[in-house]
Homo-oligomer: A and B are copies of this chain.
Amino acid sequence: MNKYRILIAGGDMRQIYCANRLSEEYEIGIIGFDKSIIPECMDMSFTDVSHHKKYDYAVLPVPPLDDNGNIYTPCCSEILSPQALQGFLSENPIVFAGKPSEKLKNSFPNAKISDYLLSEELNIKNAVPTAEGAVKLALEELPVTLNGLNVLIVGMGRIGTTLVRILQGFGAVISVAVHSTRGAAKARLYGVKAVSTKHLGNNYDLVFNTAPKLIFDKNTLEKFNDNTLFIDLASKPGGIDFEAALSLGLKVIWALGLPGKTAPVTSGRIIAETICSMLEERSEDIE
Kindly state the separation between the CA atoms of A125 and B139 in the bound complex, as whole angstroms: 17
Q: Establish whether residues B124 and A182, one from each chain, have CB atoms under 8 Å apart when the complex forms.
A: yes
Contact present for B188 and A144 (CB under 8 Å): no
Rank and list the top 8 A-B pairs by shortest CB-CB distance, nearest first. A169-B169, A171-B191, A124-B185, A136-B139, A143-B265, A145-B266, A128-B147, A145-B263
Name which of A84-92, A104-112, A159-167, A207-215 contacts chain B.
A159-167
Enumerate chain B residues within 8 angstroms of A253, measured Cβ to Cβ.
none
**Per-residue B-contact encoding for A52-90, CB less than 8 Å = 1, 0 else:** 000000000000000000000000000000000000000
Contact A273 B189 (CB under 8 A): no
Q: A136-B136, A144-B265, A147-B132 are in contact. Are A168 and B168 (CB under 8 A)?
A: yes
- With A165-B169, A169-B170 in contact, do A143 and B264 touch (Cβ < 8 Å)? yes
Q: Is A284 an interface residue (CB 8 A)?
A: no
Return the chain B residue nearest A188 by Cβ.
B148
A124 to chain B, nearest CB (A): 4
Q: Shortest beta-carbon distance, A282 to chain B, in Å?
A: 14
B-contacting residues, A210-256, CB 8 Å: none
Q: Which of A130-185 contact B (CB under 8 A)?
A: 132, 135-136, 139-140, 142-148, 158, 161-162, 165-173, 181-182, 185
Which residues of B have CB within 8 Å of A263?
Answer: 142-145
> By the criterion of a CB under 8 Å from any partner CB, how many residues of chain A are at the interface?
47
Spell out A's residues near B (CB within 8 Å). 120-121, 124-125, 127-129, 132, 135-136, 139-140, 142-148, 158, 161-162, 165-173, 181-182, 185-186, 188-192, 262-266, 273, 277
A166 to B185, CA, bound (A): 17
Asked if residues A135 and B139 are in contact (CB atoms below 8 Å), the reply is yes
> Known contacts A188-B128, A263-B144: does B182 contact A171 (CB below 8 Å)?
no
Whether A171 contacts B165 by the Cβ 8 Å rule is yes
Nearest CB of B to A260, in Å: 10
Residues of B contacting A266 with CB < 8 Å?
Answer: 143-145
How many Å from the CB of A27 to the closest CB on chain B? Answer: 22
The complex places the Cα of A216 from the Cα of B275 at a distance, in Å, of: 31
Q: Chain B: which residue is nearest A133 at the CB level?
A: B139
Complex-state Cα separation, A277 to B182, whole angstroms: 10
